């Protein structure tokens, strides 16, 4: 049987037809383009002009303030504490108050690498280990106590080292030994010592710190059963004061023996700083 091939009819839609770009030869119109008179170009030009005007106005104001305003020279002074005036009762009327050391530890000149243990008064409870916030003060012939204080409160910038060694005021505190006669001790201030981590200080670390230097602040004759206050020295609020208390040179050194624990809740017994009203003169 003879068969005849019959081609199928092309059913492709108009969208599937081959796209023929418009050309000048085909006689079709060219794609639209934006000219300088188009709305888009005018809006872009107006935005750019507004930015230029804003920049010129800012520059003119800056130049005017720089060349036509006389700014007075700053007065050398310190900014008061940001906490002043928060109480509705006004500033404190107290003339002085005591300051407890934030760090109090010991060093040994005969064993310069030795580090004294901290928190030897810890106790165990059902909830864990408890470290009471007490500090150990000790003076021996070769053992010195090192304390760090951080003064507070603007306007109380006159400090004095204070020993309160009346055993009756200890209220059951751990007092090992106190002087029976007036005993002289040397107080040194270490400038630039930096913060001391508890339980990490030795004689070598204190005297090996780069940039720190020691200066004799005063010699105090510690009196038994009474309060002994040293000379006043300036103490700026927020500063860090590092003091070393050591036994006086021989023959007093051999008789040096002061040992007690200081409870910060008791401000009637121990080793502390007294802050009094006053300002450090601005040089």
pLDDT of 90: 46
Q: Is the pLDDT of residue 45 over 50?
A: yes
pLDDT of 147: 94
Q: Is the pLDDT of residue 48 over 70?
A: yes
pLDDT of 155: 83
pLDDT of 60: 79
Could you tell me the two tokens for 210?
Answer: 């780069």
pLDDT of 167: 84
Q: Is the pLDDT of residue 80 over 50?
A: yes
Task: Report pLDDT digits (tens) over 102-118.
Answer: 899 999 999 999 998 86
Q: Tell me the percentage of the chain whose pLDDT exceeds 90.
A: 22
Burial (CB count within 10 angstroms: exposed 0-12, middle 13-18, buried 19+), residue 61: exposed
Query: What are the structural domains, with CATH classification, of the chain?
Result: 96-117+131-276 (2.60.120)
Burial (CB count within 10 angstroms: exposed 0-12, middle 13-18, buried 19+), residue 119: middle
Can you give the pTM of this predicted structure?
0.63
Q: Is the pLDDT of residue 36 over 70?
A: no
């Amino acid at each position: 049987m003879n068969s005849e091939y019959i081609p199928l009819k092309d059913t492709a839609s108009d969208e599937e037809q081959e796209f023929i770009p418009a050309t000048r030869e085909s006689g079709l119109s060219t794609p639209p383009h934006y000219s300088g008179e188009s709305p888009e170009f005018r809006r872009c030009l107006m935005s750019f002009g507004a930015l230029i005007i804003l920049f010129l106005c800012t520059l003119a104001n800056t130049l005017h303030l720089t060349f036509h305003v006389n700014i007075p020279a700053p007065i050398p002074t310190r900014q008061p504490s940001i906490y002043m005036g928060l109480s509705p009762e006004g500033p404190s009327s107290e003339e002085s108050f005591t300051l407890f050391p934030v760090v109090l530890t010991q060093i040994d000149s005969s064993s310069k690498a030795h580090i004294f243990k901290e928190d030897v008064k810890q106790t165990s409870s059902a909830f864990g280990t408890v470290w009471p916030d007490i500090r150990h003060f000790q003076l021996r012939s070769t053992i010195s106590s090192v304390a760090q204080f951080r003064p507070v409160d603007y306007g109380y910038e006159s400090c004095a080292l204070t020993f309160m060694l009346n055993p009756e005021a200890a209220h059951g505190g751990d007092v090992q030994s106190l002087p029976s006669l007036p005993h002289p001790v040397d107080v040194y201030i270490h400038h630039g010592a930096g913060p001391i981590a508890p339980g990490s200080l030795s004689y070598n670390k204190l005297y090996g710190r780069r940039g720190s230097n020691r200066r004799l602040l005063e010699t105090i004759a510690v009196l038994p059963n009474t309060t002994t206050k040293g000379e006043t020295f300036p103490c700026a609020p927020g500063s860090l004061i590092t003091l070393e208390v050591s036994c006086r040179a021989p023959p007093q050194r051999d008789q040096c023996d002061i040992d007690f624990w200081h409870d910060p809740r008791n401000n009637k017994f121990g080793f502390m700083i007294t802050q009094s009203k006053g300002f450090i003169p601005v040089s």
